[in-house]
Structure 1
Amino acid sequence: MAVGCLLVGAIAGSLISQGRRRRVARRPAGPTVAELLLRLVRSSDNGVLVLNRFGDMVLHNNRAEALGLVRDNRADPRARKASEQVVETDEDVEVDLSPLEARGRQPEAVVGHVRPLGDGFTVVEAVDHSEAARLEAVRRDFVANVSHELKTPVGAIALLTEAVLDAADDVDEVRRFGGKILHESTRLGTLVTELIALSRLQGAERLPDLNVVEVDAVVREALGRTKLSAESADIQVTADAPSGLLIEGDRTLLVTALSNLLENAVAYSPAGSPVSVSRRLVDGKVEIAVTDRGIGIAEEDQQRVFERFYRADKARSRATGGTGLGLAIVKHVAANHGGEVKLWSMPGTGSTFTLRLPVYKGASSNGSAPENPERIPRLVATSQEQGGKQ
């Protein structure tokens, strides 16, 4: 009898063990659906917050904290209020969750979408629209600035033209007003040209095929473009010895960028003061520096001088006929060539703008031209040869 009981127990134990093994074998390998959903929530680019009917947090991800949806382990009051409304109406609600006060570098425009999950639970999904808001602000500023900048010379030309018509019998007055009309029309043409250049640099239009460019040729041509304005302002512009350095890029754009730096240096320097251009190779970057002994730029303005239409000295800029686009063009030319533009300045002492561009990779170890220049593909001609093509 005892043996029979033992045999029955052994068989039952064997059957139970087999059943457990079958259940273990049927269990799928890897994470469960719940675990995958939790991973999805945690890895989302949007802030995700789940609340119960009492407004208590059930689940949230790190992005929700980064967007301010959750602070000090508590849900944003605006999100909780919207959640209560969703529980009552069972309809989706959109709520503005943008920060109420500035706290350094943080999202500026956050929109929350609140949806019901049933049983009194709601989910709040916060989306960061800060970049779109910044772009829209830039667009509005750009349109406003362009409108203002274009109205000024156009209005001046209209008034001066009326003055010429009224003084048609006075040759001296006609000449005087005619000279002013020419000045304003030239300023208008320059503004339009620079706007077109800037839009191309910032837009989707790709740069022309890059060629190997001699840094010395770029410096020579830029100096040639600035010669007349420097002589008129009684500014002596000097350059260091030729370097033989090479870079890969678009020569016309590079000359434009360097010319803008030189024109700025001349415009904001007192008569008789020097302006210099130097070039050197530092850590695989060709540095072209323009140094003046002018009025300098205040520290609070140094980060903004590369913005479109920004002028540190508005009165001086108007007097010199500046458009406020020159340094913005320099910045984008440098960026499109894989480089950057650096600024050092001190009010009352002067400024140094430095273009830093990658050295041509096919050059020798010191960045200068190789011994056999014929091996360089499509080497750009010197400034004298290109003079008529600019």
Structure 2
Amino acid sequence: MKDRLSTHSLALKLTAVTIGVFAFMLLFSNYMLWKEQSRMAGKLASQLEHSFYGMEGGDDAEDTPLTLVVDEAQIRTLAEYRIYAAFIMGITMLGGALLFVLVIRRMLKPLRLLTEKVNEIDIDNVEYVKDEIRIEKGSYEIRALSEGFQAAINKIYENYEKQRQFSINAAHELRTPLAVLKTKIDVFRKKERSPSGELADFVDSMEKNITRLSGLVEGILFLTRDEKPERKEVFVRELAEEVILDLEEKASEKEISLHVTGDDAVFYTDDLLLERAIYNLVDNAIKYNTPGGSCELRVRRERGLEIDVTDSGIGMSDEEKSHAFDLFYRADISRSQRNSGYGIGLALVRDIVQKLGGGIRVLDNPSGGCIFRMSFPPQGSAAEITKSRQQRQKRR
């Protein structure tokens, strides 16, 4: 363990790099200054040969005082040396700092890579956090940090898998008795053709709650599916019009008008999943709309694909919008109790949109109500997609 630390420790590497850089700066500056001093010493020696005046020869030569004349050229040489020394020190410091930054950046590259991997994790989509974030290269501290992150992520994913498996098992266990209850109610209605009074209210209440529970079970099973979308060419506006037709009767009960506008868009996606997402949004718009209101479904195909479901309902606060797609979240309990559902429809929509590679958000409708906007990234045209798909099939 000690050998591993001494070989790969980030602290030891930083210490060694710091000492090495400063040693390099010191040696480089001293060498350059020594070289300049040697050049100046030779130059001064040649100048001094012509600067001594005295008596030559004779007995009194030793007692004759000598006069050293320093001219302006020698003074300039000394000034130039000082400037050169300052220049060398500045260049050395700048070069050393640059070298230090480059080395540190290289040493911290694994840490930047780890940061990018951690930032890519979407904790709201736990099924996608199983990707490896462990760093194999780098210092001991960074590798230990990545292993700690990996262990935490693995625990989150394991808990998610346990909850997912429990939801699947519970939903399957509930599916059969609910189907049996629904069948018995249907049989009872056929036997008692016109139940009246409290008995009729009881049967209606039972049937309504069984239908709600069946929808909840089906929604949970849908959320826990781990299947890849089956993509193909989809005429989005035609798909939207089919959804409107399916919900027209339900909307007419509250006198809500439904209409589709926008482009005749062709998109390469899973038609069943997209239809389910649109259906849930329009159904939600009908539930929480005001009587006599409206619901508009708008399709836009520019670079990508945008689908807006706009209602004229009661709207949502900022707090409610931030939790709108949480599983089992209901903004207003009193109004939720007046509508069938358990707060799973919008969670299903978010799950579908993310599986299809898009995103969804809630906006305020300027005239009142909400706008649920599904956005999907750009892709090739339908002709290009068909051509590329045919080429792939030929290669197979």
Q: TM-score range by the shorter chain?
A: 0.5 to 0.7
User: 1:278 aligns to what?
Assistant: 298
Instruction: Work out which of the two has the higher radius of gyration on C-alpha atoms and give 1 or 2.
Output: 2
Q: Give the aligned partner of residue 258 of structure 1.
A: 278
Counterpart Cα distance in 2 of 1:239 and 1:170: 40
**Structure number having the greater strand percentage:** 1
| Correspondence list, 1:141-290, <5 A | 171-173=195-197, 174-200=199-225, 203=226, 205-208=227-230, 210-241=231-262, 243-282=263-302, 284-290=303-309
| Partners of 1:297 and 1:347 within 8 A in 2 | no
Structure 2: distance between partners of 1:346 and 1:147: 39
Q: Distance in 2 between matches of 1:313 and 1:361?
A: 42
Q: Deviations over 1:46-92 (max 9, x none)?
A: xxxxxxxxxxxxxxx998xx9xxxxxxxxxxxxxxxxxxxxxxxxxx
User: 1:280-326: CA deviations, max 9, x gaps?
Assistant: 124x2110100111111111121221111111122222221112111
Amino acid at match of 2:237: D
CA gap 1:214/1:264 in 2 versus in 1, 3 angstroms: same
Find the residue that maps to 1:240 and give its secondary structure.
Answer: strand
> Residue by residue, what CA displacement relative to the aligned partner does 1:20-61 show, whole Å, maximum 9, x if unpaired?
xxxxxxxxxxxx98774225999xxxxxxxxxxxxxxxxxx9
Give matches, 1:289-368, under 5 Å. 289-345=308-364, 349-363=368-382
Provide, for residues 331-372 of structure 1, a one-character-per-residue CA deviation record: whole Å limited to 9, x for no partner.
111111111112113799211001112355133xxxxx79xx
Higher mean displacement: 264-273 or 314-323: 314-323
Paired with 1:178 and 1:147, the residues of 2 have a C-alpha distance of: 25
User: CA separation of 1:175/1:338 partners in 2, compared to 1, >3 Å: closer, same or farther?
Assistant: same
Ranges in structure 1 where 5+ consecutive residues have no aligned partner: 1-31, 43-60, 67-123, 364-368, 379-390
Find the aligned partners of 2:162 and 2:12 in 1 and give their Cα distance.
Answer: 34
Distance 1:39 1:332, change over 3 A: same
- Alignment coverage as a number of residue pairs: 248
Gaps of 5+ in 2: 14-107, 115-143, 391-396
Which secondary structure does the structure 1 equivalent of 2:9 belong to?
A: helix
Q: Which amino acid aligns with 1:195?
A: I
Paired AA for residue 179 in structure 1 = D
Greater share of helix? 2
- Name 2:8's counterpart in structure 1: 37
- TM-score using structure 1 length: 0.53
Do the aligned partners of residues 376 and 245 (structure 1) sit closer, same or farther apart at CA in structure 2, a change above 3 Å counting? farther
Cα separation, 2, equivalents of 1:185 and 1:352: 31
Q: 2 CA distance for matches of 1:140 and 1:40? A: 42
Do the aligned partners of 1:279 and 1:288 also contact (CA within 8 Å) in 2?
yes
Q: Secondary structure at the match of 1:171?
A: coil
Q: 2:376 aligns to what SS in structure 1?
A: strand
Structure 1 letter corresponding to 2:238? A
Question: Matches of 1:132 and 1:376 in 2, distance apart?
Answer: 38
Cα-to-partner distance string for 1:150-207 (whole Å, 9 max, x where unaligned): 79x97xx89x98xx9xxx999303333222222122112211111111111xx3x323
| Gap change, CA 1:147 and 1:304, over 3 Å in 2 | farther
Tell me whether 286-295 or 171-180 shows the greater mean CA deviation: 171-180
CA 194–337 in structure 1, closer or farther in 2 if over 3 Å, else same? same
With the length of structure 2 as denominator, give the TM-score of the two structures. 0.52
Measure the CA separation in 2 of the matches of 1:239 and 1:189: 30
Q: Matched residues in 2 for 1:199 and 1:180: separation?
A: 29
After superposition, the Cα gap between the structure-2 partners of 1:33 and 1:176, relative to the gap in structure 1 and judged at 3 Å, is closer
What displacement does 1:276 show? Answer: 0.7
SS in 2 for 1:323: coil
Aligned AA for 2:232? N
Q: 1:176 to 1:140 in 2, by over 3 A?
A: same
Helix, strand or coil: the match of 1:342?
strand
Q: Find the residue that maps to 2:348 and give its secondary structure.
A: helix
Question: Quick one: distance in 2 between partners of 1:245 and 1:312?
Answer: 33
Equivalent AA in structure 1 for residue 223 of structure 2: L
For 1:263 and 1:376, the matched residues in 2 are separated by 36
Q: Cα RMSD (Å) of the superposition?
A: 4.5
Q: Go from structure 1 to structure 2 and tell me whether the alpha carbon gap of 1:239 and 1:178 turns closer, same or farther (over 3 Å shift).
A: same
1:271 deviates by 0.3
Letter in 2 for 1:207: P
In structure 2, relative to structure 1, the CA distance for the partners of 1:248 and 1:170 (3 Å cut) is: closer
Task: Report % sequence identity.
Answer: 24
